[in-house]
Chains A and B, each alone.
Chain A
Amino acid sequence: MIAPPTVELLRERLGASAGEVSLSHGMLVLTLPSVELIGVVSRLKTEFGFDMFLDVTAVDWAGQAPRFEVVWHFYSTSHFARARIKTRVPEADPVVDSLTSLYGSAHFMERECHEMYGIVFHGNNDLRPILLYEGFVGHPLRKDYPKTQEQPLVPYRTEGA
């Protein structure tokens, strides 16, 4: 029986593995340690009906440690509820588990998060650049990548060429 998710129900069923559960502008937010991710997400999918994986992205809290906060969004097509999962990973070892075993939409979105921030998704063996190109060095959405630093593939024309 898929139960409609509320803060209390999530705290009760998932217990300590759910980390901190709160409500933010009508959305359930779970802040948990990265090791709990795959267990909590599969329980959210089977027990609470969060069958659609919307998005994964990261926030670069430059200057703080751990530096990156990886954010996942889920949607339940049966209860019309939304959930956000947040976890922190350090700069030296930005590895989280991949959700490709649970959701098909994870493939492309994890590739984008990887190339933009450098987050490694353990379990996704195809982390080629998707929006950027082969040969691009660096992760542009990190705060220390200057916005106008271009890496041209084609050399620019000179005057009169």
Chain B
Amino acid sequence: MDPKTFPIRAANARTPAFEYFSTKKDELVGWARKFSLFPYPFVTACCAMEFMAVSSSPYDTDRFGAALPRFSPRQSDLLMVVGTVTHKQAPVLLRVYEQMCEPKWVMAFGACATSGGFYQNYAAVAGIDKIIPVDIYVPGCPPRPETVIDAIMKLQDRIARSHHPIITGTF
């Protein structure tokens, strides 16, 4: 289930103390999750150059906790789709996405992952959101490392503000 924010209905509301603890728990879990992102770099094309640049000095995603790439979908939570996804690659992308465990987020890195870029033809998928749900889109062809860092920070804000049910379906 996507950890999106949703309004607490009156029927589900418990005591004020429960709501207080639930919010504090969400803040704690959100803080922990946002600063320990394990990206799965699903790297295909030119954006890989900027991905390499943003992972190393001087830009360095390690400052944001998102440095350690995990090349197994079971061990990662942020799927960074870096570069063009073609129709031949689409089943591979869907399989990797399905193998990741919750909670998971998807970053569409670059113009080709966002919308197909300028490859509007028989071979390229016009945006990976036709195949998998995307949480954050990073424009650029390829995006400058500062843009990627901005995207990671925005994603971290979103994770911090989300609802994180970890013990039951609602808490």
Chain A at the B interface: SS class: loop
B122 touches A153 (CB 8 A): no
> Which residues on B sit within 8 Å (CB–CB) of A148?
120-122
Task: Flag whether A61 is at the interface (Cβ < 8 A).
Answer: no
Check if A16 is an interface residue, CB within 8 A of chain B: no
Chain B residue contacts of A132, Cβ below 8 A: 88, 123
CB contact under 8 A between A152 and B122, given known A157-B129, A157-B131, A157-B133: no
Contact in complex: B130, A156 (CB < 8 Å): yes
B residues 62-95 in Cβ contact with A at 8 Å: 87-88, 90-91, 94
List residues of chain A with CB within 8 A of the CB of B130: 156-157
- The listed residue (A150, A154, A156) touching B122 by CB distance below 8 A is A150
Complexed CA–CA distance, A156 and B90 (Å): 10
Q: State whether the Cβ of A24 lies closer than 8 Å to any Cβ in chain B.
A: no
The answer to whether the Cβ of B54 comes within 8 Å of any Cβ in the partner chain is no
Give complex CA distance A157, B94 in Å.
11
A125 at the interface (CB under 8 A from B): no
Partner of B131, one of A133, A147, A149, A154: A154
Q: Which residues of A contact B120 (CB under 8 A)?
A: 148
What chain A residues lie within 8 Å of B121 (beta carbons)? 147-148, 150
For the complex with contacts A152-B87, A153-B91, 11 further pairs of A-B residues with Cβ separation under 8 Å are: A132-B88, A132-B123, A140-B123, A145-B122, A147-B121, A148-B120, A149-B122, A153-B90, A154-B131, A157-B129, A157-B130
- B117-153: contact bitstring with A at CB < 8 Å (1 yes, 0 no)? 0001111010001111100000000000000000000
Question: Which A residues, 105 to 161, have Cβ-Cβ distances below 8 Å to chain B?
Answer: 132-133, 140, 145-154, 156-157, 161
A153 to chain B, nearest CB (A): 5
Interface size class of B (residues with CB under 8 A): 10 to 19
22 A-B residue contacts at CB 8 Å? A132-B88, A133-B88, A145-B122, A147-B121, A148-B121, A149-B122, A150-B87, A150-B121, A151-B87, A152-B90, A152-B125, A153-B88, A153-B90, A153-B91, A154-B90, A154-B94, A154-B131, A156-B130, A156-B131, A157-B131, A157-B133, A161-B133
The B interface is mostly helix, strand or loop, or mixed, namely loop
Closest CB-CB distance, A139 to chain B, in whole Å? 11
- Residues of A contacting B123 in the complex (Cβ-Cβ under 8 angstroms): 132, 140
B91 and A154 form a contact (CB under 8 A): yes
A150 to B94, CA, bound (A): 18
CA distance A132 to B133 in the complex (A): 25
CA distance A154 to B122 in the complex (A): 14
In whole angstroms, what is the CA distance A152 to B121 when docked?
Answer: 12
Partner of A151, one of B91, B122, B133: B122
Q: With a CB–CB cut-off of 8 A, which chain A residues contact B122?
A: 140, 145-151
Bound-complex Cα distance A152 to B89 (A): 10
Q: Which residues of chain B come closer than 8 Å to A152, judged between CB atoms?
A: 87, 90, 125
Within 8 A of A (CB), among B23-46: none
> Given the complex of chains A and B, what is the CA–CA distance between A157 and B97 in angstroms?
14
Q: Which 4 A-B pairs have the closest CB atoms?
A: A133-B88, A154-B90, A156-B130, A147-B121
CB nearest to A140 among chain B residues: B122
